[in-house]
Chains A and B, each alone.
Chain A
Amino acid sequence: GENVEQHPSTLSVQEGDSAVIKCTYSDSASNYFPWYKQELGKRPQLIIDIRSNVGEKKDQRIAVTLNKTAKHFSLHITETQPEDSAVYFCAASKSNYQLIWGAGTKLIIKP
């Protein structure tokens, strides 16, 4: 079945710098790749997603890139701010809706 690997498990960056989180997936039929942000004790919230017919998508300081050939996708956060501190999860799915989750990345923004 599908497997999603996420790296790094913890990422610490200086406020204002960029952060990059990477995920790889195993099932070439996967066509939907969301990224969720989860603050402690709260629900995961969708921050950006990308579909397999697109290579890159951007929303203000957040961008996601997808390399279908290599089967990996990445989350890029620029000009990081303290409120970006959270756990970020990537996921992948096919058209049957079941999301396969990465293990998560704890992002720490240092002031």
Chain B
Amino acid sequence: GAVVSQHPSWVICKSGTSVKIECRSLDFQATTMFWYRQFPKQSLMLMATSNEGSKATYEQGVEKDKFLINHASLTLSTLTVTSAHPEDSSFYICSADRGNYNEQFFGPGTRLTVL
């Protein structure tokens, strides 16, 4: 149990376009979902925390108008990178918490490349 999927697994887009990444908890209801960004050989950087039906909480330095997060249901959260630029190229990973003792389950990640 506790499987999290993420789609797409990789995406290449042109500068200025928007990209949507989906994160789904497949066999449990996630009270909270988290979006991370990871650069090569670096740790996970928390971008935002999202709770179903409410606005996401963004970490300091993360532009909420650029990284739109929607948590429409207990099993789905989406991250939209708007007007993407090459510096947005990164590995984006979501995780979900099933409300049980802080344990987080990670999606497989999305490799975004902006040309």
Contact A101 B44 (CB under 8 A): yes
Number of A-B contacts (CB under 8 A): 50
- A51–B106 touching, CB < 8 Å: no
- B106 A93 Cβ-Cβ under 8 A: no
- Give the complex CA separation of A45 and B108 in angstroms: 10
Please list 20 pairs of residues, one from A and one from B, whose beta carbons are closer than 8 Å in the complex, sorted by A's number: A34-B102, A34-B104, A36-B106, A41-B91, A41-B111, A42-B109, A43-B93, A43-B107, A44-B44, A44-B106, A45-B106, A46-B104, A51-B101, A95-B102, A97-B102, A98-B46, A98-B49, A99-B102, A103-B42, A103-B43
Which size bracket describes the interface of A in this complex?
Answer: 20 to 34
> Which residues of B lie under 8 Å from residue A51 when comparing CB positions?
101
In the complex, what residue of chain A is closest to B97 when comparing beta carbons?
Answer: A97
> By the criterion CB–CB under 8 Å, are A44 and B93 in contact?
yes
Residues on B with beta carbons closer than 8 Å to the beta carbon of A102: 43
The verdict on B65 contacting chain A, using a C-beta distance below 8 Å, is: no
**Pairwise interchain contact B109-A93, C-beta atoms closer than 8 A:** no
Taking A89-B43, A104-B43 as contacts, is the C-beta distance between A42 and B102 under 8 angstroms?
no
